[in-house]
Structure 1
C-alpha cells in the first residue's frame, strides 16, 4: 500500500479533502511515505492549529474552490463536489479505491442500502471464530488505511463500503456482496438513479474470475457485470429460523436473508455448516440495529436508530412479534413514504408516534387516506424526548416499543448513534 501511495504522491502537490476520521488517516499515511511537494488540508470546519505550522490549511465556505491547485486530492466520503469529477484537472481519489487497487483480490466488499454493517460484522465474526486470518474495516468506523500494516498474503479483508466510498470507484473487490437497493441519500445524490449507480460500482469493475453475491431482486442488467453472479436466498441456509439455534440474538426475516449472504460466502472458505452455526450463536447484535434494550414495566424496548429508509422500518415492525408502538420521523429528505403509509394501515399497532419534519409528512399522508378509527392510534409528538415520555406512560404491558425512524437523524442529532443513545437514556434502560 505504501509503495502505491509513494508512487502516487511523489513530487506532487497533495490535498487532504475533509479532515474527519478518514481524512486524518489519509494524512498519516501520506506523511509516513513522504516524497510529496506539499501536503495541505481543506475542510469546511476548523482544523487543529498544530498542523498549520508546516501544512497549509484551507477552511470555511470556499474550501472546495482550491482543488485544481493540486495534483492529487484524497477525498473523504460524503463530501459533495460542486462540479462533475471529470471537470477537475487534478486526480481525485479516496482510501477505498486505492485500497481495492492493491488488495482487491483478498477483499470481500459489502454494500447495500440497509443491512451492510450487520452483514459485514457477522461475516467477520464467523470467519474469525472459524480460525481464518481476517481483518475488518471501512464504513463501520475503522478507516481502511489503518489496517494495512497487518495484512499478509493470505489475509481475508472484510470491507464495508458505503455509496460515498464507491461513488467514483475504478477498482472492485474479488468477492462483492450487494444486499439491496432502496431509496436513500437523495439529499446527496438528487435522484435514486445516481445513488444506485454509486452502489453498483461494487461490481462494475469486477473481472471474469470474481464473484458477485447478489439479491435476486437487484441483479445487474445484461453486460453490466463480468463476475460470476450468485443469487442468494434464505433457502441456502442449513436452518430455517434463528429459533433453531440457541443463543442467536438476530431477529427478523431481513437478518435471515443477510445471514444467507454470509453463509454463501463462508462456503467458499470451506467452513462447515456445524462451525457456521456455532459461530452464529455467539454473534451479538450491533448497537442501534434492532437492538433489544431490555424490559421496563413489562414493556420491551428496541433501538433501531440505524433505520433511515421505509424498508428498514417495515422490516423492524415485521421482525418483532409483539410490536405495539413504533416511533417514526426525523430529517425530511424527500423520500417516498407511500409504501410505509400503506403498510402501517395493515398492522394492528397500538401507537404510531410521528416526530420531526418527516413525521409531519407521514401525518399528512395518513390523514389523507386512513380511517378515523385508525388515526386514533396516530400521534404527532415533535421531539423524541416527549415521545419517550408518552410511550412510557401509554404502552401496554406485553407489547414492544420500537424506535425505527425511517429518516436521517441530522438536524437534531449528530448521527444515528447519538439518537439511539438518547432514546435509551430517555427510556431509562
Structure 2
C-alpha cells in the first residue's frame, strides 16, 4: 500500500456528495476522478452554471441544485462540504454526522507531517513564513488551505518526507474531527458571527485545531490571549503546549531585518519559528528565512507617497482589533480610512481607542460601519477631538485624505470591517486602493472634499 492510498481506500465504495463547486469542491471532484476512476458520485451547488462546468462533463457525476441535494442527504454515506456553505440555518435532519470536508480528510490521512495554522488574524502571514522557513531548510514543503490552494490539489505530490503547512479558517475547521501534528493558534477575536451565529460557536470551530491532538503532538498559542486560553480549557486536546510571547522567546534570532511592519507581525513570526523548532530546523536556517521573507500584500503594505503623505494599504483588516494593531505599528498616523460591511460587531471599544490615539486627527468613514462608528466618535461618551468625514466611496476617501493629511505624516487604510458590501473580497478592495494612490501620484486624482453627512 502506497503512503497515499489510505484516503482512496476510505472513500472507495461510498456514495459521496461533493457540496459546493468552488476551488475546494472542484479539487475534491478531481481527486475522486483521479484515485477512484469510474466510481460515481454527486455534486451540488446553488449555481446552475457551476453544475454545468466543462471540467465536470467527463466525470461520472449526478448534478443537483442545492435545494434538491438537501432533500437527498439521506441517500449519501459521506457529504464533503465546501467551507463557505453555512449549515447553521439549514435543516440537516439528522444528517450532520455524515458531513465532512477536505480539511478533515486531509488531517486524517495525510502521509506526512501537517502543521495547521489558525487565528482570527495573522494566519496567512504566519503560515507563509513557516512554509518559507521549511523551504529554506530544504524540506519538500506545500502551503495549502485558506491561503487559496485546496489541500487535495497537492495530494498526489505528497510523500512521507513532505511537510504541509495548512492555513485553516473557522469555516474549514467547523467539521474536522482530526487535528494536525503541530497546531499554531495566533489569536481569537469576534469574527464571522453572521456565519457561526455566536462567538461561542466561532471559538468552538477554531478550537478544533487542537481538540484531537494527542500527547505526541504540539500546540503553539499566545500566552497573553485570554480568549484562546479559555477555549483551550474547554476543549484543548492533550498536546504538548508551547505558549509564546514574541521575539523575546527566541533570543538567538535577530528580528531587525524582518520586513513586515508591527509588533504583531514579529509576534506571529516568533510563533512560526517555535513551530519550526519542533521540526528540528536549526537557528541559522531560521535566521536566513526571517531575513529573506517578503511581506504579503494588503497587510500594512506601503502603497506610495502623495504630496509628502505616506499611504498604507491594510485591506486585510476586517475587525477593529486588526485596525488598532495597524495604528500601533506605524509612526505618526494622522488620517485613518475605515468602514465596510456591517455585521453588527460592537464598536464602542474601538471608538474609545481611536479617540485615545494621540496622533490621529482625521477619520474618514465609509459605509456601512462608518455610520455607526462616526456616531460613536461624535457622542458625548467618547469625545474624539479630530475631524470626521463621511464618504460614500473609496475614491472620495482618498481625495479627502490627500486634502486633509499633513505633509510628513501617514494615512492608513485599515477598514476594520469586511469588504462584501462594495467589493468581491479584501484583495479587490486593496487593489482598488493601490490603484487610486497610483493615479493620485500621476496627478490624475482631483483634490478636494467629497462626501455626505448621515
Q: TM-score, normalised by structure 1?
A: 0.93
Asked whether 1:29 is paired with 2:35, we answer no
Contact 1:12 1:38 in 2 (8 A): no
More off after superposition, 190-199 vs 90-99: 90-99
More off after superposition, 126-135 vs 164-173: 126-135
Query: Secondary structure in 1 aligned to 2:18?
Result: strand
Structure 2 Cα separation of the partners of residues 241 and 381 of structure 1: 43
Partner of 1:357: 368
Contact 2:302 2:312 in 1 (8 A): yes
Partner of 1:231: 243
1:224–1:123 Cα change, 3 Å: closer
Unaligned 5+ residue runs, structure 2? 440-454
Asked whether 1:92 is paired with 2:99, we answer yes
- Equivalent residues, number: 425
1:16–1:399 Cα change, 3 Å: same
Partner of 2:72: 66
Partner of 1:411: 421
Following superposition, the deviation at residue 353 of structure 1 comes to: 1.0
Unaligned 5+ residue runs, structure 1? none
Contact 1:14 1:36 in 2 (8 A): no
Deviations 1:262-303 (A, max 9, x none): 121122233333332222111111011111122232211111
Partner of 2:61: 55
Matches within 5 A, 1:129-144: 129-144=136-151
Structure 2 Cα separation of the partners of residues 279 and 5 of structure 1: 33
Partner of 1:343: 353
Partner of 1:278: 288
1:182–1:49 Cα change, 3 Å: closer
More off after superposition, 409-418 vs 100-109: 100-109
Contact 1:133 1:154 in 2 (8 A): yes
Contact 1:40 1:55 in 2 (8 A): yes
Structure 2 Cα separation of the partners of residues 7 and 157 of structure 1: 21
More off after superposition, 338-347 vs 260-269: 260-269
Structure 1 Cα separation of the partners of residues 76 and 107 of structure 2: 23
Deviations 1:304-355 (A, max 9, x none): 1111111100000000012121111100011121221111011121211111
Following superposition, the deviation at residue 237 of structure 1 comes to: 2.4
Matches within 5 A, 1:283-298: 283-298=293-308
Following superposition, the deviation at residue 42 of structure 1 comes to: 1.0
1:97–1:298 Cα change, 3 Å: same
Matches within 5 A, 1:188-337: 188-216=195-223, 217=225, 218-219=228-229, 220-221=232-233, 224-234=236-246, 235-238=248-251, 242=255, 244-245=256-257, 248-337=258-347
Query: Secondary structure in 1 aligned to 2:127?
Result: helix
